[in-house]
Structure 1
Amino acid sequence: MSARPGIYVTAEEYLAAEREAEFKSEYYDGEVFAMSGASRAHNLLVSNLITGLGNRLGDTCNVFPSDMRVHIPANGLYTFPDVSVVCGEEQYLDDAHLDTLLNPVVLLEVISISTGKNDRGSKFMFYKSIASLQHYVLVDSQRVVVGMHSRTSDGAWLYQEVEGLATTLLLPALNVALPLAELYRKVALPS
């Protein structure tokens, strides 16, 4: 992501421009950040996540790809997670567009060398203020490792990792188990 320096943009201006734009941008604190494209591995991992979760959840929840914007009112961030899951009644920004989700239960990001630091650090700091969020999942695109932050009953966050094709990612908030062999299907990883 990169910002346009020196130009303050209101959230309303950002949303109006974003809805007409040919490419996606994120917004935070008056700045608009263009999003870069994704690699083959990234796209396959996102596709496998959407398929795996969608098939397991059926009609109980909705799984959205990265075109669903998420807004975090507590800190003002507008962002496009790689995959968002919402269960129950969906809540959107108070407008007629239904393109800015407010209450995801699970957010998933596929991380690369260039995005890993941001996804592990500042994005998690922003995401954890979403009251409905139960799991924040980080899928590594360079090796078979998935990390997950989970909200505990007392509001704290617990981090755990699963590694290797023989393991399974458990998402208790969704009552879903996703085998990493399925998640990394067809993904060619660096040796």
Structure 2
Amino acid sequence: MTAQPQEKDKMTPAEYLALERGSLDVKHEFFDGYLFAMVGAGRRHNRINVNLAGELRNKFKADNSAFNLFSNDMRVKIDQNYVYPDIVIYCGDAQFEDDEFDTLTNPVVIMEILSDSTEAFDRGKKFAYYQAIPTLQEYILVSQHEYFIEQFTRKNSGKWEYGSYKGTNQVLKMESVPCELPLSEIYWDIEFESF
């Protein structure tokens, strides 16, 4: 999805959560005291999201894995900030901020499907925020415009290592989750525009 800044004075995380939990129409991400409305995603973004969630669920279920996932609507807490990743994978029991069970605190993998309007933020400042999550081991960016996936993996040293996969014959090999996903499945039923 795409985030758009909202005109409003700064608010506290508690004010944000109260507002967000009462909002039925629009989801908001929250960074440094400011709201950013999440606007709808297009067909290609939605198809990639469904493909990813379906493939991951099937693999986790078939392997009787300790891993599980949420898609789109699970809020994730980063210090005093809140986001809605496209896909979030956790291990074991999901841990939540409070008894509302709507804000995950222990993601292992976060996947973002890049949108033209948010790509720079997803690659830059948002990734910097994500790095503050102690449980996060992988950050994966998925292009909507070609068979192309970028993977950032946290190493034991704390440094992040970059890898990329391009083309229909490539297989995304996740390091923190015992899972391999062929790009042909991630991009199933997607038509790319030719230039």
Please report the TM-score for the alignment, with normalisation by the length of structure 2. Answer: 0.93
How is 1:1-191 mapped onto 2 (pairs within 5 angstroms)? 1-21=3-23, 22-58=25-61, 59=64, 60-73=66-79, 76-93=80-97, 95-191=98-194
Question: Quick check: 1:137–1:148 contact (8 Å CA) kept in 2?
Answer: yes
1:3 deviates by 2.6
Q: Deviations along 1:63-114, whole A, 9 cap, x unmatched? A: 10110000011xx220000000000132111x21100001100000000222
Equivalents in 2 of 1:31, 1:113: separation in Å?
A: 21
Give unmatched runs, 5+ long, in structure 1.
none
Equivalents in 2 of 1:57, 1:182: separation in Å?
A: 16
Structure 1 stretches of at least 4 aligned residues deviating more than 3 Å after TM superposition: none
Equivalents in 1 of 2:192, 2:119: separation in Å?
A: 16
Give unmatched runs, 5+ long, in structure 2.
none
Identity %: 38
Equivalents in 2 of 1:115, 1:45: separation in Å?
A: 17
User: Which SS does the other structure have where 1:85 is aligned?
Assistant: strand
Cα-Cα RMSD: 1.1
Equivalents in 1 of 2:188, 2:45: separation in Å?
A: 12
Question: Quick check: 1:63–1:86 contact (8 Å CA) kept in 2?
Answer: yes
Question: Quick check: 1:65–1:83 contact (8 Å CA) kept in 2?
Answer: yes
1:6 deviates by 4.5
Please report the TM-score for the alignment, with normalisation by the length of structure 1. Answer: 0.95
- Specify the code of the residue in structure 1 equivalent to 2:19: A
Question: Quick check: 1:112–1:142 contact (8 Å CA) kept in 2?
Answer: no
Structure 1 residues 145 and 38 mapped into 2: Cα distance closer, same or farther (>3 Å)? same
Q: How many pairs are equivalent?
A: 188
